Amino acid sequence: MFSCMKPYGDQNYSALKRACLRKKVLFEDPSFPATDDSLYYKGTPGPAVRWQRPKDICEDPRLFVDGISSHDLHQGQVGNCWFVAACSSLASRESLWQKVIPDWKEQEWDPEKPDAYAGIFHFHFWRFGEWIDVVIDDRLPTVNNQLIYCHSNSRNEFWCALVEKAYAKLAGCYQALDGGNTADALVDFTGGVSEPIDLTEGDFANDEGKRNQLFERVLKVHSRGGLISASIKAVTAADMEARLACGLVKGHAYAITDVRKVRLGHGLLAFFKSEKLDMIRLRNPWGEREWNGPWSDTSEEWQKVSKSEREKMGVTVQDDGEFWMTFEDLCRYFTDIIKCRLINTSYLSVHKTWEEARLHGAWTQHEDPWQNRSGGCINHKDTFFQNPQYIFDVKKPEDEVLICIQQRPKQSTRRDGKGENLAIGFDIYKVEENRQYRMHRLQHRAASSIYINSRSVFLRTDQPEGRYVIIPTTFEPGHTGQFLLRVFTDVPSNCRQRGESLRLPKGQGLARDSWWGGGNAGLLLLSRAGTAGRGFKALTLRQHAPQTYAPGLADGPPRSSVSSQVWNHRVLKDEFLGQVRLKADSDDLQALHTLHLQDRSSRQPSDLPGTIAVHILSSASLTAV
């Protein structure tokens, strides 16, 4: 991971720190200065903000006080509960926060070596397919000597405030963090894939079977190091941060900090009875205001659980924003869950591993329709197939396929304001197994994602063996932007972009779809469309059943023909045996043609010994053949 770390803005942390130590000055970041431009992209600030270094805010500043915990964080004046919730989840995973906060021991203040401190920090985030190293100085915005944004329980602990500043620098300013998406932060912290789940649409509260299945998936993501959050959708502006009678808050992101099956009962009876309850622990980024229903901190339901089990779960009775609830109640009161899956691509693992294909692409505009790559969704049938297209293979009888498309984040600027996401999505089509060219007509749609103005769109689907085409699009045509496509399968999918279309010569148009394939008894067949002017690939055919598929052109000229050459496959040199030519007449409905072999002379073809029986099957669906 760290060998391919890319410095953000060409700022090298080690070189900058050495220069500051040599000059005996504290670092001041010129690319994210201590000015209003770093606070707001529009509007004017409220109270007078002073940028202060930790040493001016408190005595004995530290990166961590008594380690790192999800209880450390409290949301500040900017509406970024989504980011704070993601940080709370991150804090519960040592292996993950040590990636985001690298060299944390070296970055920590050392009271015994004050001259070794240079006022510079760096943090790692995963952005658009690569890990980047973001450098900041330690000047933080305050009012009345108090941090106004994310802060810790301990006045002298600064890890969360510094991580937030680095993330704000990536976004363009602090105000750009107001009203974001927890899924984006979880992905930026891990390089994983976010999977949103609509609990209302899935009716998980009333369907016990679906709910149990979902809990097992959530438990698996948590047990394998993934990060999870939950929220209650706010339908109107008045709903935002409205507190319900049960104590939960609408339009607010909660971090899920634990998932487990809790054993009910006391003593040995609990083990023999083996009654367990599906439970979730959540945390409010405000650090207060908790759930007050069943299994809340002071609830009598806890009498059903032994003291040792409660200690194992870390149950506390205090208003610290963290609480337990059953998974059934979570599905009843919350509307959305976001799972950030850490996709295991290691070859040395006891758990399921995945093969990843990662490709960068772009929606671009061009006057030439054959070169335009911004055709919009399937609603725009005239331009839909102009979008980028990617072929991949499912090589098992059936395989689970994970597909994620992520658009490049747009940085906020004072002139343009907050960068808005495009509405994006993708369709997956099953095509003939030897397709090489772009699609130009509709085939069987195997799956489709939602279309949403989110940074990432994810789809999990089970598909049978075969070849597929992914068409990522913006919802409306003419929109441009860059994207990252990630495809995960059990075995390598050989995912690649298709940029070439099969065209007819001299302005005759485009062959909408073509295919070829075959099988023969130890022969080598070379097929060519007579007037298409393009040779098809040679196929070595090893089957004993003399069955040959000839190429067809959906939009070929009326008098085009198809010829097939028959060769004897030998070790040193193949021997030509003859060829046949079949007119591709759309009015000829004869299914069986028996043709004499001829030589290759273009002047006076003469018959050779032998005939070929050609069976013709016509279908609008190429995968039906």
The pLDDT of 579-595, averaged and rounded, is 75
Window from 105-109, 337-341, 535-539 with minimum mean pLDDT: 535-539
Token pair recorded at residue 127: 């952005």
Tell me the pLDDT of the chain averaged across its residues.
83
Q: Write down the pLDDT at residue 398.
A: 93
Q: Write down the pLDDT at residue 549.
A: 38
pLDDT tens profile 10-68: 999 999 999 999 999 999 999 999 999 899 887 666 678 999 999 999 999 999 998 88
In the predicted structure, residue 556 carries a pLDDT above the cut 50: no
Helix (H, G, I), strand (E, B) or coil at 483: strand
pLDDT tens profile 121-156: 999 999 999 999 999 999 999 998 999 998 888 899
pLDDT tens profile 309-362: 888 887 776 667 889 999 999 999 999 999 998 888 776 666 678 899 999 999
Q: Write down the pLDDT at residue 592.
A: 84
Q: Give 610's pLDDT tier (boundaries 50, 70, 90).
A: confident
Q: Which helix (H) or strand (E) holds 171?
A: helix 159-171
Q: The tokens 């053949």 sit on which residue?
A: 625
In the predicted structure, residue 516 carries a pLDDT above the cut 60: no
In the predicted structure, residue 510 carries a pLDDT above the cut 60: no
In the predicted structure, residue 545 carries a pLDDT above the cut 60: no
Identify the active-site residue in 80, 181, 284, 387: 284
Q: Give 200's pLDDT tier (boundaries 50, 70, 90).
A: very high
Q: Could you tell me if 164 and 85 are in contact, meaning their C-beta atoms sit under 8 angstroms apart?
A: no
Q: What are phi and psi of 382, to 5 degrees?
A: -70, -25
Q: Give 584's pLDDT tier (boundaries 50, 70, 90).
A: low
3-state secondary structure 508-543: CCECCCEEEEEECCCEEEEEEECCCCCECCCEECCC
Q: Could you tell me if 472 and 410 are in contact, meaning their C-beta atoms sit under 8 angstroms apart?
A: no
CA torsion sign for 29, 34, 37, 38 is positive
The pLDDT of 557-583, averaged and rounded, is 75
Instruction: Name every residue whose Cβ is closer than 8 Å to that of residue 497 and which is 6 or more positions away in sequence.
Output: 359, 361, 388, 389, 390
pTM reported for the whole predicted model: 0.78
Q: Write down the pLDDT at residue 546.
A: 33
The pLDDT of 292-299, averaged and rounded, is 89
In the predicted structure, residue 527 carries a pLDDT above the cut 50: no
Is residue 562 classed exposed, middle or buried when 0-12, 13-18 and 19+ CB atoms within 10 A define those classes? buried
Is residue 495 annotated as part of the catalytic site, yes or no? no
Rounded CA separation 388/376 (Å) = 11
Is residue 252 annotated as part of the catalytic site, yes or no? yes
Considering only residues 610 and 43, tell me which one the structure prediction assigns the higher pLDDT.
610
**Listed residue (232, 233, 249, 239) closest to 75, CA to CA:** 249
Window from 27-41, 291-305, 553-567, 573-587 with minimum mean pLDDT: 553-567
Is residue 81 annotated as part of the catalytic site, yes or no? yes
In the predicted structure, residue 79 carries a pLDDT above the cut 90: no
Q: Write down the pLDDT at residue 449.
A: 96
Token pair recorded at residue 539: 């196929």
pLDDT tens profile 150-174: 888 889 999 999 999 999 999 999 9
Window from 97-101, 438-442, 465-469 with minimum mean pLDDT: 438-442
In the predicted structure, residue 232 carries a pLDDT above the cut 70: yes
Q: Write down the pLDDT at residue 411.
A: 76
Identify the active-site residue in 20, 81, 160, 173: 81
Token pair recorded at residue 163: 């991580």
**Listed residue (87, 83, 75, 79) closest to 237, CA to CA:** 79
Q: Give 481's pLDDT tier (boundaries 50, 70, 90).
A: very high
Q: Write down the pLDDT at residue 396.
A: 92
Q: Write down the pLDDT at residue 604.
A: 58
Considering only residues 188 and 577, tell me which one the structure prediction assigns the higher pLDDT.
188
Highest-pLDDT range among 230-244, 412-426, 437-451, 462-476: 462-476
Considering only residues 574 and 206, tell me which one the structure prediction assigns the higher pLDDT.
206
Domains, the chain: 6-180 (no CATH), 193-341 (3.90.70.10), 355-411+421-497 (2.60.120.380), 522-532+562-624 (no CATH)
pLDDT tens profile 436-449: 889 888 888 999 99
In the predicted structure, residue 547 carries a pLDDT above the cut 50: no
Q: Write down the pLDDT at residue 520.
A: 32
Name the percent of the chain lying above pLDDT 90: 48
Q: Give 272's pLDDT tier (boundaries 50, 70, 90).
A: low
The pLDDT of 606-619, averaged and rounded, is 75
Q: Could you tell me if 223 and 235 are in contact, meaning their C-beta atoms sit under 8 angstroms apart?
A: no
